[in-house]
Amino acid sequence: MIVQSTRGGPRLEDTRAVLAGIAADGGLFVDASLAGRRFDWRACLREDSLGMAERILRFLLPGFEDMHTLVRRAYAGKFETEDLTPLVRAGEDYVLELFRGPTSAFKDVALSMLPQLISAAREQEGVKGETVILTATSGDTGKAALQGFCNVPGTRIIVFYPDGGVSPVQRLQMATQEGANVRVCAVRGNFDDCQTGVKRAFAAIREGELLRGTGRELSSANSINIGRLAPQVVYYFIAYAKLLRSGRIREGDEVDFVVPTGNFGDILAGWLAKRLGLPVGRLVCASNANRVLTDFFETGVYDRRREFVRTTSPSMDILVSSNLERLLFYASDGDAAFVRGCMDQLSQEGAYRVPERIMARIRAEFSACCCTEAETEASIARVWRETGYLCDPHTAVAMHAAREYRRAEAAGRPIVVLSTASPYKFPGPVLRAVGGSAEGDEFAQMRALNRLSGVPVPAGLSNLDRRPILHRDLIDREEMLDYILSVLKEGRS
């Protein structure tokens, strides 16, 4: 299948697009023919979770030859439950637990699949040289990508994260990562600096042909990669199927989804699920104190020129939400010149305005809500007190948004909140919120939170303090390109 850049540049087979990660013109790859293709969503709901994943990914990425095998290699035996993402009740809401994978974060669903896709694409396209994965993370993508690509033949991965901008547990997950093909580096700056640095490195390396003659090619594990985004569509179908099988809904009933959102990939996956026919009602974009997306939905102006706030939900501490570019492409009927103009304005001026006719289309399907730090802490406490459900700060932002949405505009439909991380990745803020004393380091806090709540600590987190620190690199944001080239020049990680 041919996909194209949101900015009007290259058109590639989907296998080549997954390998490329980002288009040569800086745009993101999209399936412009999506509206004209029919997907049997009803038949999909009758499958188990792996069967759903196979059907959906075969439809979205039809160029891959053996999706059945790839899906099973990605997921079988790697998650806590066979259905990948349990759906649990928390008061009036349903919570889709996306953190039951190997790194206790929602990124595991996509980043268990992406290495399989890249390996298959390399084989189908006859790639012999090394595929170099460049990744920026605001917390969870880094560890999930490192875990997924660890010692995968023919690949090397370099992960950048903002120094001081991830939780101590997230930092340790990355700093202790083993693997002959992995490298982790902290950057003095925020996530947007890391993400911008990766995009600029892509452009500089490709334009300057800096890898010419090395046999290496660049790719990405961020959700800018269409192979990372596509697997995220699957869990919306899983949630709907669970509600259907429980008798909570009938086939065809709409369900609303509330999604804690930073880079806009997770919620865009829900919009794509709706395009495939799944009866998705409204998609509620839940933001933390970095409310750039809430302001965009309210005003039609995307403006990153504001104070960057470091919060207890660091994976959402983002001012440039890359995947919004894909929504703009679809909402403008594939107007690549319009999208390119918006992205140029964002880069050069820091803001752009979307015409009201396009915003009307977007607002017909999306709502938005933001949550302050005080409200996040109160949300953790309220959900625990009223329902006995222990949630991390990102999920708490979404639980707050679900409550506000229900008060303001909910239509009586079931509401599913996407829960994105284990509370034990943020033990201090969660412990304080539920009335505990957050003394000692994060591991003492984990133990205290476990004693207070009775919720088990994930095995992958409980012994982090006993693992050796393997990655200590720290650079300025202007040094990212030089760092990448030096790592590749070494020929080792």
Per-residue pLDDT of 318-359, as tens digits, reads 999 999 999 999 999 999 999 999 999 999 999 999 999 999
For residue 410, what pLDDT is reported? 67
- Cα separation, 122 vs 116, in Å, equals 10
**DSSP string of 418-455?**
EE-B-GGGSHHHHHHHTT----SSHHHHHHHHHHHH-P
The angle formed by the CA atoms of residues 277, 279 and 284, to the nearest 5 degrees, is 115
- Cα separation, 113 vs 118, in Å, equals 9
What angle separates helix 114-125 from helix 140-149, to the nearest 10 degrees?
Answer: 50
- Cα separation, 319 vs 262, in Å, equals 8
Inside any domain, residue 383: yes
Annotated catalytic residue within 107, 242, 274, 425:
107
Inside any domain, residue 238: yes
Q: What is the mean predicted confidence (pLDDT) over 74-89?
A: 94
Which CATH number characterizes residue 278's domain? 3.40.50.1100
Inside any domain, residue 73: no
Residue 107 falls in the annotated catalytic set: yes
Residue type, 347: S
- Cα separation, 74 vs 205, in Å, equals 30
The angle formed by the CA atoms of residues 72, 73 and 77, to the nearest 5 degrees, is 75
- Report which of 34, 37, 29, 173 is spatially closest to residue 99, judged by C-alpha positions: 173
Inside any domain, residue 271: yes
Asked if the model's pLDDT at residue 131 lies above 60, the reply is: yes
Per-residue three-class SS string for 388-410 = CCCCCHHHHHHHHHHHHHHHHCC
474's enclosing H/E stretch is strand 473-476
Per-residue pLDDT of 172-200, as tens digits, reads 999 999 999 999 999 999 999 999 999 99
Q: Which domain holds residue 349?
A: 87-101+229-455
Inside any domain, residue 130: no
Inside any domain, residue 32: no
For residue 492, what pLDDT is reported? 45
What is the radius of gyration, based on Cα positions, of the chain?
Answer: 21
For residue 493, what pLDDT is reported? 42
Asked if the model's pLDDT at residue 490 lies above 50, the reply is: yes
The β-bridge relationship of strands 131-136 and 351-353 is: unpaired
Share of the chain above pLDDT 70, in %: 99
Cα–Cα distances in Å, from 438 out to 193, 243, 271, 432, 452? 31, 37, 39, 6, 12
Asked if the model's pLDDT at residue 409 lies above 80, the reply is: no
**Residues across the chain:** 493
Per-residue pLDDT of 210-262, as tens digits, reads 998 888 999 999 889 999 999 999 999 999 999 999 999 999 999 999 999 99
Residue 353 backbone class (left: φ over 0; alpha: ψ -120 to 50; beta: rest): beta
Share of the chain above pLDDT 90, in %: 91
The SS3 call for residue 222 is coil
Domain count within the chain: 1
- Cα separation, 251 vs 254, in Å, equals 9
214's enclosing H/E stretch is none
Per-residue pLDDT of 253-305, as tens digits, reads 999 999 999 999 999 999 999 999 999 999 999 999 999 999 999 999 999 99
34's enclosing H/E stretch is none
Cα–Cα distances in Å, from 14 out to 57, 262, 381? 11, 25, 45
Residue type, 270: G
Inside any domain, residue 245: yes
Per-residue pLDDT of 40-78, as tens digits, reads 999 999 999 999 999 999 999 999 999 999 999 999 999
For residue 443, what pLDDT is reported? 93
Per-residue pLDDT of 428-443, as tens digits, reads 999 999 999 889 999 9
Cβ neighbours for 465, distance < 8 A, ≥ 6 positions apart? 172, 441, 443
Return the number of other C-beta atoms located less than 10 Å from residue 149's C-beta. Answer: 24
For residue 138, what pLDDT is reported? 85
Inside any domain, residue 237: yes
Report residue 284 as tokens: 């509620």
- Cα separation, 347 vs 37, in Å, equals 34
